[in-house]
Chains A and B, each alone.
Chain A
């Protein structure tokens, strides 16, 4: 060995050029890493602030609270309290009652501005409120004749005023709301006639039309997504696990299994909209299943999720040490016993994690659902399973897409709110995956 190639004679206190270069390279790499992580965290923060900032408002809603006299002469002309008869009074009748009640309340509080028409005052109330009042009365006909305290949704523009979306300047240009109305609303707020409250309706109510953003909710979408997840779980978990076990433990390695393996890997990378087209062609056009139904959505998402689950399950099965398999075979367990008594339990955490990640992916999928009609405007809740699987429903991500398509700016808030709900579900599922993995994890 020559003197150059070794460090003989050099003090350890002095860093030689080569070591310096290596240390510098390491430092550089660390900085790159930190930059990459920092960028990711920043992107996440920006996303969350933007979504939370815009969407948080949808969980609070402006309500008008006032006593409403349910006039028997208007609501139940025959006076027999028969819901079938009372149903003849449409929402227009109830709207008049609400208008009257509001004017009465405003008069009492001496808040009525001069020259404001009844129509303008009634315009403060959401068009959805009469329908809600009507439902309430029809469900409980004994209310007729009484004076009840009713919490009515305020019009979307009024709601927007309190959330900063509508200003005096914009109201002056808006045909739907006038500055005079906003001034009145300010006074009403001072008199505690009107205020913001938590909006359960956003989570439980069905979608509402373009003109009533204040009433739009996610109830049908959440139920539709839930139904689809049930179908995906019930179909893809057993199918995926069975296929993985066969491929991993029983199938001979030959050209056919190689081909299947390559295809599964490719299927996982197929754009999801392709599965939508497949679903449209096979399930709806060929098998004549109903459009917009959670059943078709669930089947399409199952096809999409299967490769993910198979890949995750095979990886989990592969990770089980062969020594455990040898041990089981060595005491005379059959192949099936080995798999079900030893390999599968050990692979369970990995399988569950893969399944939940696959489900989360399916929950957030939009494109294939657009093609099978889940983009439709659905106001009726699907029925209870199993028949409910065939009823039209919406889905959370599709609902987000739907909201963003609408003109009223109030729907921007709704869309972000729907994203928050979706993210909460995804987060819950991922936390569940982590807990399950911790719980079932065993060391060997």
Chain B
């Protein structure tokens, strides 16, 4: 853990974006998430760490109701986005997902052009009125994803032709294009090489200015590098949640300590 650089990070924002209360998730009969209570702050990077199968990805996917696509998955408890229960019957998951964007583990650009990849979200949500506005959104999204300079001359070439790191940034641009309020990232760097990882991490830090970012990661170094708040999951329980600095230097729970020092996980 020598390469961990825990810089002091001021938490300017204290506004709560997501509030989870007594969340339970069941896959059929198995109880995947138990009694999770967490407050995710606005304009903050929150990292979920924990060993494989601890439920961190499951919980992340609850935040934009991606778990709805799994028939046997059942969610109990309340998850509030800006005070509104996202599992309320009146909530359409499509609208929710426009507000809560997601970046996946494996870069998954559509097999369409770079431009169409980014423009897809704004198009289906009717965010722009004409081509010029759409062009603008595409450009600004690609700029936010630090990809504009690399692809501005070949917006018509297929998104799948980019390198892995570029593809992942394209996916981030695509997620950003719908101007979400929260960005969920499910191990966004696990398929990338260290250089691409560094680029994406830098990007995450920049995105914090505009969004609340929740990132699931297997790499504790990454959590330490990019996040301000860290949540440690173990066997479906949220074991400890606090400032990243505190979690990594002064964990309160023995399980957290065991995990970050490499004794379990």
Contacts and interface: CB of A to CB of B under 8 A. Distances in A.
A327 B171 contact: yes
Interface string B198-240: 0000000000000000000000000000000000000000000
B26 interface: no
B97 interface: yes
Query: Size class of B's contact patch?
Result: 20 to 34
Interface string A287-324: 00000000000000000000000000000000001011
B10 interface: no
Contact of B175 (A330, A333, A341): A330
A333 B126 CA distance: 12
A324 B110 contact: yes
A218 B131 CA distance: 56
A321 B97 CA distance: 20
A342 B94 contact: no
B160 A330 contact: no
Given A330-B102, A444-B160, A323 B108 contact: yes
Interface residues of A, number: 22
A23 B106 CA distance: 40
A327, A332, A333, A341 — most chain B CB neighbours (10 Å)? A332
Contact of A332 (B94, B103, B106, B110): B94
A325 B178 CA distance: 17
B264 interface: no
B120 interface: yes
A323 B111 CA distance: 12
A444 B125 CA distance: 25
B104 A323 contact: yes
Interface stretch (B14-22, B32-40, B63-71): B63-71
A444 B162 CA distance: 11
A439 to B, nearest CB: 14
B98 A324 contact: no
A327 B160 CA distance: 13
Interface in A325-382: 325-334, 337, 341-342, 346
Name the residue among A327, A334, A443 with the largest chain B CB count within 10 angstroms. Answer: A327
B174 interface: yes
B110 A326 contact: no
A333 B160 contact: no
Contacts of A328: 110, 120
Contact of B94 (A324, A326, A333, A346): A333
Given A323-B106, A337-B124, A330 B111 contact: no
Nearest to A442: B111
Contact of B120 (A323, A331, A443): A331
A60 B154 CA distance: 58
A329 B66 contact: yes
Interface in A396-425: none
Contacts of A321: 108
Contacts of A327: 104, 108-110, 171, 174
Interface in B101-117: 101-104, 106, 108-111
A331 B71 contact: no
B111 A326 contact: no
Interface string B119-140: 0110011000000000000000
Contacts of B30: none
A266 interface: no
Given A252-B71, A253-B71, A444-B160, A331 B97 contact: yes
B95 interface: yes
B103 to A, nearest CB: 8
A59 B210 CA distance: 76
Contacts of B97: 329-332
A64 B124 CA distance: 71
Contact of B121 (A331, A346, A443, A444): A331
Contact of B95 (A329, A332, A337, A346): A332
A144 to B, nearest CB: 69
Nearest to A326: B104
B228 to A, nearest CB: 24
B106 A330 contact: no
Contacts of B66: 326, 329-330
Interface in B169-195: 171, 174-175, 177-178
A330 B104 contact: yes
A440 B125 CA distance: 28
A332 B111 contact: no
A346 B94 CA distance: 22
A216 B132 CA distance: 66
Nearest to A346: B111
A220 to B, nearest CB: 46
A337 B108 CA distance: 17
Contacts of A253: 71
A178 to B, nearest CB: 73
Contacts of A337: 124
A444 B175 CA distance: 19
B141 to A, nearest CB: 11
Contact of A342 (B64, B96, B110): B110
Nearest to B118: A331
Interface of B: 64, 66, 69, 71, 94-98, 101-104, 106, 108-111, 120-121, 124-125, 160, 171, 174-175, 177-178
Given A326-B66, A326-B104, A328-B110, 12 more contacts: A252-B71, A323-B104, A323-B106, A324-B108, A326-B108, A327-B104, A327-B110, A329-B69, A331-B101, A331-B174, A442-B111, A443-B111
10 contacts: A324-B108, A326-B104, A327-B104, A327-B109, A329-B69, A331-B98, A332-B97, A332-B98, A332-B178, A444-B111
Interface of A: 252-253, 321, 323-334, 337, 341-342, 346, 442-444
**6 closest Cβ contacts across the A-B interface?**
A332-B98, A323-B108, A330-B102, A332-B97, A331-B121, A327-B108
